[in-house]
């Protein structure tokens, strides 16, 4: 089994290990450094306390320091790289990674990481070139990761906003009050929601009300009462909104349903 390690006292903030034939590491363990791992063949199952992820070629996984984990191979896995990076190095560069772990499915980032590993293992490459390549990778990787992390946080925020709307869309509220519930400015609230769902908040609420009215139209309730029950000002307001979405009026929709009963 071929195995190589790059470790140099002049670059004491980094260590790289390469192994040709990847073996299981079933014992839970942790590292004092942040680790970045990639493989070229097969797959690797990384197990954490309450979950697991599967690492494949063209992906990399970053695991924070002090995070217990183990690893098993799901098939014949070859060419594994593990980069150990001290957190102080990242701190000095104003880079930060706060998640426990993250699976990055980005082919360009993967290629950049493999290129860095090859550079570090090449004895013909000078230390200054190795260090420069490490910095450039960290600049690209952690900038990407921060963007991904921000996106995930905003996506989660948008889902929480949607959940609240789904449960309370019949209530009367203004955006200022709504934004306060999520500790946001109105501008941020509007931007996050529209970016995730492609609709302004008021359009989403109107859409929910129209679909509620559509369900109620299958009953014997009068259309004027349906308008009131689904949060419209009056029947004409319901008519306009309903026709805008379904291209027919509520009365026409109801008539077509009952004519087939």
Distance CA 100, CA 242 (A): 47
Supply the pLDDT for residue 214: 94
Q: Looking at residues 210-216, what average pLDDT do you find? A: 94
Supply the pLDDT for residue 261: 47
Beta strand 69-73 pairing with 25-29: antiparallel
pTM passes above 0.95: no
**Distance spanning both ends of the chain, measured CA to CA:** 74
Distance CA 110, CA 202 (A): 41
Residue 143 has pLDDT above 70, yes or no: no
Supply the pLDDT for residue 217: 94
Give residue limits of the domains in the chain.
Answer: 3-150, 202-259
In this chain, the answer to whether the domains covering 3-150 and 202-259 adopt an identical fold is: no
* Side-chain half-sphere exposure of 44, counting CA atoms within 13 A: 30
Supply the pLDDT for residue 98: 79
Give phi and psi for 258, each to the nearest 5: -70, -30
Q: Looking at residues 65-90, what average pLDDT do you find? A: 87
Three-state SS for 124?
coil
Out of 133-137, 140-144, 180-184, 216-220, which region has the weakest mean confidence (pLDDT)? 140-144
Helix H or strand E encompassing 39: strand 34-41
Q: Which of 100, 84, 93 is nearest to 36 (CA)?
A: 84
Q: Does domain 3-150 bear CATH number 2.60.120.810?
A: yes
Fold category of 202-259 in CATH: Arc Repressor Mutant, subunit A (1.10.10)
Q: What is the CA radius of gyration of the chain?
A: 28
Residues in the chain, overall count: 261
């Amino acid at each position: 089994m071929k195995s190589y390690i790059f470790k140099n006292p002049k670059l004491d903030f980094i260590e790289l290990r390469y192994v040709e034939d990847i073996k299981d590491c079933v014992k839970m363990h942790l590292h004092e450094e942040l680790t970045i791992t990639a493989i070229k063949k097969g797959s690797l199952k990384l197990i954490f306390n309450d979950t697991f992820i599967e690492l494949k070629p063209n992906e990399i996984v970053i695991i924070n320091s002090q995070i217990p984990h183990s690893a098993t191979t799901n098939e014949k896995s070859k060419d594994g790289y593990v980069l150990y990076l001290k957190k102080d190095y990242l701190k000095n560069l104003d880079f930060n990674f706060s998640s426990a772990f993250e699976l990055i499915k980005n082919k360009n980032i993967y290629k950049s990481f493999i290129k860095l590993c090859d550079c570090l293992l090449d004895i013909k490459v000078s230390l200054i070139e190795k260090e420069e390549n490490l910095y450039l990778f960290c600049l690209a990787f952690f900038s990407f990761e921060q963007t991904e992390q921000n996106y995930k946080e905003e996506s989660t925020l948008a889902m929480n906003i949607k959940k609240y709307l789904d449960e309370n869309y019949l209530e009367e509220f203004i955006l200022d009050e709504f934004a306060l519930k999520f500790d946001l400015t109105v501008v941020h609230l509007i931007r996050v929601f529209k970016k995730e769902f492609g609709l302004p908040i008021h359009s989403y609420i109107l859409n929910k009300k129209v679909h509620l009215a559509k369900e109620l139209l299958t009953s014997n309730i009068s259309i004027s009462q349906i308008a009131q029950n689904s949060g419209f000002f009056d029947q004409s307001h319901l008519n306009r909104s309903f026709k805008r979405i379904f291209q027919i009026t509520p009365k026409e929709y109801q008539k077509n349903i009952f004519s087939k009963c």
